[in-house]
Amino acid sequence: MNSLLSPTIMSWWNVWVTICGIVAIYFLSRTWEALSYSLKTKTHKCGKIKFYKTKDPVWGIDFMNNLSRSLQENRILSWMEELWASQGTKTFRVSFMGKRVIYSRDLENMKAVSTTQFQEFLVEPVNGHLDPFLGSALSTADGKVWQHSRNLVKPYFERQAFANVQRLAPFTDRLFSLLPTDGETFDIQPLLSRWFLDATTSFLFGRSRDSLIKAENKDVMLAIFDIVRGASARRSMGPLKYLFRDAKWHESIQFAHNYLNDHIDQALNELKARNQNPEKFTAESDRTDLLWSLVQQLNDRILLRDQLAALWIPGMESTSILVSNILFFLSRHPRVWKRLQSEVNAIGQEGLTYNTLRNMQYMTWVINETQRVFPAGVSMTRVAGKDTTLPRGGGADGQQPVFCAKGDLVVCNRYLLHRDPEFWGEDAAEFRPERWDGIRPFWNFVPFGGGPRICPANVMAVTEAAYFVARFCQKYKSIESRDDRPFTPVLHAGVSNLNGVKIAVISW
């Protein structure tokens, strides 16, 4: 019997020894890492950062559950406020999915990551959740690849490329034709999504999707929503993102790829035809869209698709959400509506140009205040590409530098930065455009980021929003909210209202 049991006993013994060895090695490595981190903190002359205590000190499962639950229950922004309030500091550290994550709402840290130290904090390692939809491009790459992408697209977002705001007129007129003007309640938020889809596809690809003419053409927009939804889910899974399985997500990726490929193939074929028979094309047939600019510099379909997708996804719905939020506030603040309408009507529709829109003071205040209260990007995430530091967050007072080891995640929170009562006052959570009278917030206000990686379309987005709002003020005598519920923030391409923007308008 002993001879029969011995192999079994020895087998279990070997398994037990192996398990114990793995556990011992793991804890030794964690201990060594902690000691190394502490030593480097002192070497870099940094203060100790406050540590958010989780029930699980390594994986932070409870923290992850709280984050996921807040997203599912559409209270992520209030959860952020509660999280920072519970720490009593602007910068703290969390162990999350086996990684060190530094959360900060300190403007000095935002400035360092965006400008003075931007080459030390990378974006590529945090964008794996976008595979296989998007490869290396402007918003997902670092170093030379990012610089090349930036050089490709930056000239197209200079003023002369989009200053003709009348290109938005046909899409705006089309949307207005769909609105009831007899006081009937309607939700303008989905219509603005279609307005932006039509305008941006015309600008990017030279052909509008015309979803305001055919509602079924919004299928591209729905596919993008699915892609963003799946990518967000993959991001929340951290290193386990490859376990994400969703057939609809992959179908949406294929649909979007096919849509982009069709535009790319058409542009490449047209370029070939123009080069072979230039006499067949007149000056009137010249194209001014972004894709046409890119195909004259690139001929690789995958690279072209990545460049277009990198611009399309971050901007998808961002302007329409901004306009929706502006109308949400205008419908609930009659005084602001009247003052803005007076400023706009003093110019007249024929006077709506890039320069006049940019010089409208109160319009600028309204747009800025909307972006301050609900910025398009709630936070900015980077990965330390080397051992480095952040300017503030260490020590008992939070004023000493903070050590960041290579691989540490840094999350700078724009939403809370924009609502910091130390700068904006005790009413920072309130919508009040007049607060912009005479202030220059600099790094207290970064709706499009800052530094070399600032959104290249930032001026264009604000100009488009100003144009639509100005036309709206001219078209309608009054606007009225038809929804008493408070703004319920939900994250898409920006912070939009879960309940839409239900209003009524009366024409002149």
Nearest residue to 291 (alpha-carbon basis) of 463, 461, 150, 156: 156
Pair 474, 344: CB distance under 8 Å: yes
Q: Over the range 315-354, which residues count as b (16 or more CB within 10 Å of their CB) and which as e?
A: bbbbbbbbbbbbbbbbbbbeebbebbbebbeebeeeebeb
Please say whether the beta carbons of 118 and 143 come within 8 A: no
Sheet with 50-51: strands ordered across: 50-51, 91-96, 99-104, 409-413, 379-384, 121-122
Report helix, strand and coil shares of the chain as percent, to nearest 5: 60, 10, 30
Interstrand relation of 379-384 and 409-413 (parallel, antiparallel or unpaired): antiparallel
Cβ distance 375 to 494 under 8 Å?
yes
- Phi, psi (rounded to 5 degrees) for 384: -65, 120
Among 268, 372, 376, 362, which residue's Cα sits nearest to residue 317? 376
Structure tokens at 405: 């080891």
Q: How far apart are CA 163 and CA 354, in angstroms?
A: 5
| Amino acid, single-letter form, for residue 201 | T
CA 128 to each of CA 64, 132, 480: distance values in angstroms, whole numbers, following the listed order: 19, 9, 44
Flag whether 455 is marked binding: yes
In angstroms, the CA 200 to CA 457 distance is 11
d(CA 454, CA 414): 13
484: DSSP letter: -
Q: How many CB atoms lie within 10 A of CB 85?
A: 9
Contacts of 314 (CB under 8 A, 6+ apart): 139, 455, 493
Binding residues: 455
Binding residues for heme: 455
